[in-house]
Amino acid sequence: MFSAAISEDDLIDLHGKVAILTGGNTGIGYATIQMLARKGAKVYMAARNGERAKEAIEKLKAENINDGSVHWHSLDLSDPRAVQRSAKEFLEKEERLDILINNAAAPAGPFKLAEDGISNMMVINHISHFVLTETLLPLMKATAKEPGADVRIVNVSSSMHARVQPTTFATKDAFNSDHHSWEEFMDAYGTTKLANILHVKALQTRLNAQATAITCIALHPGAVKTAGLQDALGGHLGWFLTACLTTLFFKSWRSGAMTVAFAAAGKKVADQREKYRGAYLVPTAAIAIPSRSALDERLQSELYESTERFVTEMGL
């Protein structure tokens, strides 16, 4: 499902608003930060590598972010404990948070378990973003109570979520997809991206039950030519074939970021919040129906409850 082209003119004014996006020193996250800052937002680039983040911020300033601003916030998604510490540090910096975009994803690499017995890819793509969201949620709830507030949580997922049809998320083993071949890697990645959608839907259900005015959206940004994608494909298909494929069939950062920016700050979302709460978007900014697994309320509850349990076992 596709909609007519949209632009930055379709985004709300963000002066006085605060946003945080994970990743962002390149690719979709970079372009999204630029769009939000151009609309006046104070945007935090939450990333592990401070040097790369600061280089990206200087580049953003040179490319014009109007009167918005961009700041680095240290965040290491490979360690949920460090994520919680980072989120608490953010709470000391800011008195409001209007937009949280869980954008970063694990790069391609061999299967390995993190110290808590969950795959590194699942930790980075889901568990750590869950911890970040839960830690920042009280501030977002407080912001949502202010007059004229429009608070949003956005999970950047992928159409790859439809590759998998898990029967449960009730056990730790269900979070771990061993992968050695390219096909197995894509299934493992798809499982983490399914988790991103299930997380949004379960969280939206909980917030609705609490009468909390926060809009949660998951999305597929489209096939975008990013460094992470090229590394993943290059290692399996060869660099020449990868270059040909990404040039012919993959979109630019900005094109992919438009759906993310719309989810975070689109005027239509502000005008039709009930319609967009818990929605899944595809390029460009169109509501679509995700996989059957993503719509499974049992899987939504199991994922949320299991993640809470694992996080508690980590002492968080």
Name the residue among 189, 201, 254 with its Cα closest to residue 225.
254
Give the strands of the sheet with 151-156, arranged side by side: 69-74, 42-47, 18-22, 99-102, 151-156, 214-219, 280-282, 286-288
Could you confirm whether 193 is annotated as catalytic? yes
The answer for residues whose C-beta is within 8 angstroms of residue 203's C-beta and 6 or more apart is 133, 153, 216, 304
Could you confirm whether 189 is annotated as catalytic? yes
Map tokens 């379960």 to a residue. 202
* Interatomic CA distance for residues 294 and 139, integer angstroms: 28
Helix orientation angle between 182-209 and 227-237, rounded to the nearest 10 degrees:
150
Catalytic entry in 17, 39, 42, 193: 193
- Do residues 298 and 205 touch, judged by C-beta distance below 8 A? no
- Do residues 198 and 299 touch, judged by C-beta distance below 8 A? yes
Catalytic entry in 119, 128, 157, 158: 157
Could you confirm whether 44 is annotated as catalytic? no
Catalytic entry in 189, 276, 280, 304: 189
Residues annotated catalytic, as ranges: 157, 189, 193
